[in-house]
Structure 1
Amino acid sequence: MRTTRTRGILTAAAAIVLAASAISATAAAQAAGNNSDSGNGSETNSALADAFNGVDRNTGWQQTSKLKLNFPTYHTEGIAYSRDHIFLSAVQILEPTVKFPRPQNGFDRTPGKGVGHLFVMDKAGNLQRDIILGEGDMYHPGGIDFDGTNVWIPVAQYRPDSSAIIYRVDASSLEVHKQFEVKDHFGGIVLDQQTGHLVGNTWGSRRFAEWDLQGKQLSTWQNPNFFIDYQDCQYVPNSRMLCAGITNLPQTPAAGGAGVGYELGGMAMIDLKSRSVIRDVPFQQWSTAGHVASRNPFKMTADGGHLTMRVAPDNGEEGNGTEILTYEATVAPAK
């Protein structure tokens, strides 16, 4: 197992070169229609969007496989698939954050300490590389996405209203590029392959932002939906974003006992042009450790009306450790 640590700040000239190469590589991947296990590819491929429009609360999801990961995975965050690799982001907590009695210097808690990981595996789940990402208080990787060439990863402080680094990792060479830094905690990101712009979501997915590849913020907007907090997302042609996540709800206390939180899971398709939620549905399947399956890492693919979802909701120290769970369902696309 190799470990790679990235440092340094890109110059403006280097950022421009990297941006141009990223756009060129993405365009080449789109032209090739490369969507091998990634859910991405040609802008004319609407299979996933069409099939997801047929998903509702009665869709019969069946768990069809479990892939046990036999290495420390800590707290899993995002997952992505290329032709040769599985990528899994995770945060290793060394010192938990602590809430302040009242905000201090614009923060509601201490920064804590940790290590950000991007695990690179073969398709059998064997660890090939552990890439360490982050700088200083920015150690928390979020949801990730693969654009056909690169894996995009935000690494933020583990607190809202803070800061983050946006990384680009070449899925073939595994070369790491620090793309730019942003103000605020961003916990998920996709590359809109129609515009060539990046779209990220903040803490609790309450706000979205759009940037060019040099890090210039082009727009922001509030999330119009309060159903769930998005944890991991993926790009879907044309200019759509498919996300999954959870919200924790209180339960009625049992007689003589305290209430226990309930994890409500769900998925949502977002139109990046109109900035509206096209469709959202609950998802209530449970992991080995008892978490709702859409809790963190999530990716989906479609073959006609047959959907395949891969998730990794459990932390490394829970139950049987981290397992990549596969769920499948067949739907009649909505008309």
Structure 2
Amino acid sequence: MSPNITRPNPAIPLTPPTLPPPGASSNAQEIIRQLLGLTRSNIASKLKLVKRIPLGGEVWEPEGLVRLAGSSPEEERFWISAGEYTQPTIKYPDGEWRDGSDRQNGAGFAHFLVFDGNGKRVGDWVVSETGDGEYHNGGVEFDGRWIWGCLAEYRPGGRASVIRVDVERLEVERVCRVGDHLGGVVRDGRRLVTLNWGGRKGRVWDLGKVGKRDEQSVMKEEGGFDVPEEVVTNPSHWIDYQDCKFLGEYEGRSVMLCSGIATLGDGVEVGGLAIVDTRSLVPVWEVPFMLRTDDGKRVLMTKNPMDVGVVDGRVRLWFAPEEGRGAVYVFEVGEGA
């Protein structure tokens, strides 16, 4: 079936001329070194906004962000996973939970939006069908060949599928199915690590076992869920992770960078970044990041998606926090960090 994609100018490609290596894992040691220099007391002076890139058109609720580096802004691409919601979720009365969730599923569509490095919209790919229960498109990861992501019901619990996306052939493959919400995924060699609602629980998957199931088996409506190699409870209650990127090895651990927010009592919101062990979910570094957008929305930078890489020797972070109409905010770690 042909992809349901809108391209203002089909002559403009959706990827750079050559797919780049993953920006995070290919620069892992330098990223870790510079990020470890950020602390609660110096992050405001060391992590500086260097560019704001307005995005053309509606972005709905952005959830995941992958930057595909190019030799120029015209060749650079931002792939953003997003959810368009046409029917809201409804909380069960009196704080009731049913079958592992506190609300009824809503309805909507899962999108992959593609922009160039100037924010020009070059593609809008709808990857769910009308009536699909799994319409929430979560955090994403690029491994140099595929974008890995999650399509899920938009509620705690529920059901979800891990997908991988061929960005050149425009094909989506469902890899495994889970009886829980999935909001993020990273690829660690032959393993996948998925995170559920708020990143409260992690699952580790062996790609050699889950990557061979046929589409009809994965798409069974009732049951038929895959079994992970491990299930780990997140020991940190600092922030709920929104998007994560695999880095590599640090002091004998396999680690990823995660960003996110938490809403505390009386509506107080906090944002932050964390380098996290992919197997135990134990953070090896955490720092608050409380900067907000300066328009009327006043959104925490870490509310929605994030990517990380190195440009001209300095670590850069890309955030797309705003719903509706928004921008990519580019931050750089300054010298001395």
Report the TM-score when normalising by structure 2.
0.79
Query: Quick one: distance in 2 between partners of 1:247 and 1:66?
Result: 24
Whole-Å Cα distance in 2 between the matches of residues 230 and 173 of structure 1? Answer: 30
Q: Distance in 1 between matches of 2:323 and 2:278?
A: 31
Alignment CA distance shift 1:53-1:331 (3 Å): farther
- For residue 54 of structure 1, the aligned residue among 37, 41, 47 is 37
Q: In the alignment, is the contact (CA less than 8 A) between 2:114 and 2:122 conserved in 1?
A: yes
> C-alpha displacement at 1:234, in angstroms?
0.4
Matched residue type, 2:55: L
Q: For residue 268 of structure 1, what is the amino acid of its counterpart?
A: A
Correspondence 1:1-335 to 2 at 5 A = 4=4, 34-35=21-22, 38-41=23-26, 45-57=28-40, 58-59=42-43, 60=45, 61-83=47-69, 84-101=76-93, 102-134=96-128, 136-193=132-189, 196-213=190-207, 214=210, 216-238=227-249, 239-251=254-266, 261-287=267-293, 288=295, 289-302=297-310, 306-316=314-324, 321-330=325-334, 332=336
Query: What value does the CA root-mean-square deviation take over the aligned residues?
Result: 2.3
Deviations 1:139-158 (A, max 9, x none): 00111111111111101111
| Contact 2:3–2:127 (CA under 8 A) maintained in structure 1 | no
CA contact (8 A) 1:263 1:291 kept: no
d(CA) in 1 for partners of 2:31, 2:299: 25
Distance 1:246 1:276 in 2: 17
The C-alpha deviation readout for 1:218-263, integer Å capped at 9, x for no partner, is 1011101000000011010122110000011234xxxxxxxxx222
Q: Which moves more between the two structures, 172-181 or 135-144?
A: 172-181
Take 2:279 and 2:233, find their aligned partners in 1: how far apart are those partners? 14
- 1:216 Cα deviation from its structure 2 partner: 4.7
Per-residue deviation at 1:174? Answer: 2.8
- CA drift of 1:200 comes to 0.8
Q: Is the contact between residue 244 and residue 266 of structure 1 (CA under 8 Å) also seen in structure 2?
A: yes
Structure 1: gaps spanning 5 or more residues: 6-28, 252-260
Q: Number of residues paired by the alignment?
A: 288
Q: 1:86 to 1:100 in 2, by over 3 A?
A: same
Deviations 1:67-118 (A, max 9, x none): 1111111111110112352110111110100101123344321111111111
SS in 1 for 2:97: strand
CA separation of 1:275 and 1:203: change in aligned 2, threshold 3 A: closer
Contact 1:82-1:171 at 8 Å conserved across structures: no
Matching residue's letter, 2:179: K
Report the residue type matching 2:25 in the other structure. N
Rounded Cα–Cα distance in structure 2 between residues aligned with 1:62 and 1:188: 26
Label 1:325 to 1:304 Cα distance change in 2 as closer, same or farther (>3 A). closer
Deviation at 1:3, TM superposition (A): 5.4
Distance of aligned partners of 1:210 and 1:189 in 2 relative to their CA distance in 1, 3 Å threshold: same
**CA drift at 1:331:** 5.2
Counterpart code for 1:160: P
Structure 1's 286 and 275: CA in aligned 2 closer, same or farther, altered over 3 A? closer
Amino acid at match of 1:4: N
Rounded to whole Å, the distance in 2 between the matches of 1:131 and 1:216 is 30
Structure 1 Cα separation of the partners of residues 148 and 282 of structure 2: 23
Q: Distance in 2 between matches of 1:322 and 1:187?
A: 21
Range with bigger deviation, 293-302 or 303-312: 303-312
State the TM-score, normalizing by the size of structure 1. Answer: 0.80
**Secondary structure of 2:170's partner?**
coil
- Is contact 2:114-2:123 (8 Å) kept? yes
| Secondary structure at the counterpart of residue 47 of structure 1 | helix
- Residues in 2 aligned to 1:151 and 1:294: alpha-carbon distance in whole angstroms: 21
SS in 2 for 1:211: strand
Partner of 2:221: none
Instruction: Tell me, in whole angstroms, the C-alpha distance in 2 between the residues paired with 1:75 and 1:327.
Output: 21
